[in-house]
């Protein structure tokens, strides 16, 4: 039987995607927009939280005056509500369960969010070990992929091998630029306190937390243009983004990466 002819830009398999999340606090745009894009592409999606509790995104970004001024756009709120009713989000896996592994998944996504609840996943030794075991499989020409937005990149930065080296030590990456974080924090501090500082007033910026684990600070791409931007590494199948405004491009570039695996060179 002859091998199938693969048309460039098409896929012949259903990719398995896992969203790794804290119980509460992730940004709804950084979660619902990629989820919807991958769902429309026909990907098989699952979620995982520490004990299999359905995750909930940051309420402030979904409701009230904070949503209208600072949060998710109306169409994203609709996408989030649909996602929240899905079987996969209502019945997530447990990333702390004995025998749990990231290996069955083609793509592992780490959404961001500055709400303090996301520290649950950023600081988890269990998650760190899972990432240490999985991330090397993304080295090209492998076909495993990792995607992370904003504070999601901090999970990777904190995931270190036995020698204390982060899994992204040799990668090009982006995340929330310090100037973006400072603008949001100081612009809202009078009414929202340290809401925009995940680790509280006076803590290091997300950019600092990530840059310090890289082999070279120049590997951090701090693009201050508010238009959509992502960073794609050349050695690993790893794509990162800065903030909610990048979420759609982030998902699209991941799909393009999967499509590239099946192109005839």
Is the pLDDT at 146 greater than 60? The verdict is yes
pLDDT in tens, 175-205: 999 999 999 999 999 989 999 999 999 999 9
Contact yes or no for 18/105 (Cβ under 8 A): yes
- Give mean pLDDT, residues 239-249: 98
Mean pLDDT computed over every residue of the chain? 93
Q: Cα separations (Å) of 176 from 67, 104, 200?
A: 19, 29, 16
Is the pLDDT at 6 greater than 80? The verdict is no
Nearby residues of 88 by Cβ (< 8 Å), 6 or more positions away? 45, 46, 47
120: number of CA atoms within 13 Å, CB side?
19
- Give mean pLDDT, residues 58-81: 91
In this prediction the pTM is: 0.93
Is the pLDDT at 89 greater than 90? The verdict is yes
Q: How is 30-77 classified by DSSP, letter by letter?
A: HHHHHHHHHHHTT-EEEEEESSSPPPB--GGGTSHHHHHHHS--HHHH
Contact yes or no for 62/77 (Cβ under 8 A): yes
Q: Cα separations (Å) of 216 from 50, 81, 208?
A: 32, 41, 13
pLDDT in tens, 43-53: 999 999 999 99
Q: How many C-beta neighbours within 10 Å does residue 198 have?
A: 25
* Chain position carrying tokens 């969010």: 113
Q: Which helix (H) or strand (E) holds 7?
A: none
pLDDT in tens, 8-38: 444 446 899 999 999 999 999 999 999 999 9
* DSSP bridge pairs for 148: 110, 240
* Pairing between β-strand 16-20 and β-strand 44-49 as defined by DSSP bridges: parallel
CA-CA-CA-CA torsion for 63, 181, 223, 79, nearest 10 degrees?
A: -10
- Give mean pLDDT, residues 224-237: 97
């Amino acid at each position: 039987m002859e091998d199938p002819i693969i048309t460039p830009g098409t896929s012949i398999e259903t990719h398995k995607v896992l969203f790794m999340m804290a119980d509460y606090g992730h940004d709804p745009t950084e979660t619902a927009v990629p989820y919807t894009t991958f769902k429309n592409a026909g990907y098989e999606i699952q979620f995982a939280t520490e004990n299999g509790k359905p995750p909930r995104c940051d309420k402030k970004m979904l409701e009230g005056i904070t949503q209208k001024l600072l949060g998710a756009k109306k169409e994203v709120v609709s996408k989030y509500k649909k996602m929240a009713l899905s079987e996969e989000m209502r019945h997530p896996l447990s990333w702390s369960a004995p025998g749990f592994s990231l290996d069955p998944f083609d793509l592992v996504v780490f959404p961001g969010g500055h709400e303090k609840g996301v520290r649950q996943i950023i600081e988890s030794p269990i998650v760190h070990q899972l990432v240490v075991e999985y991330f090397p499989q993304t080295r090209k020409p492998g076909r495993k992929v990792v995607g992370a937005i904003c504070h999601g990149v901090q999970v990777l930065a904190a995931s270190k091998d036995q020698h204390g080296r982060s899994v992204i030590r040799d990668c090009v990456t982006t995340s929330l630029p310090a100037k973006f974080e400072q603008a949001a924090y100081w612009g809202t501090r009078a009414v929202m306190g340290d809401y925009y500082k995940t680790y509280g007033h006076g803590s290091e910026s997300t950019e600092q937390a990530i840059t310090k684990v890289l082999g070279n600070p120049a590997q951090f791409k701090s693009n201050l243009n508010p238009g959509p931007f992502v960073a794609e590494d050349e050695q690993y199948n790893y794509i990162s983004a800065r903030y909610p405004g990048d979420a759609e491009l982030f998902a699209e570039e991941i799909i393009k990466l999967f499509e590239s695996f099946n192109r005839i060179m």
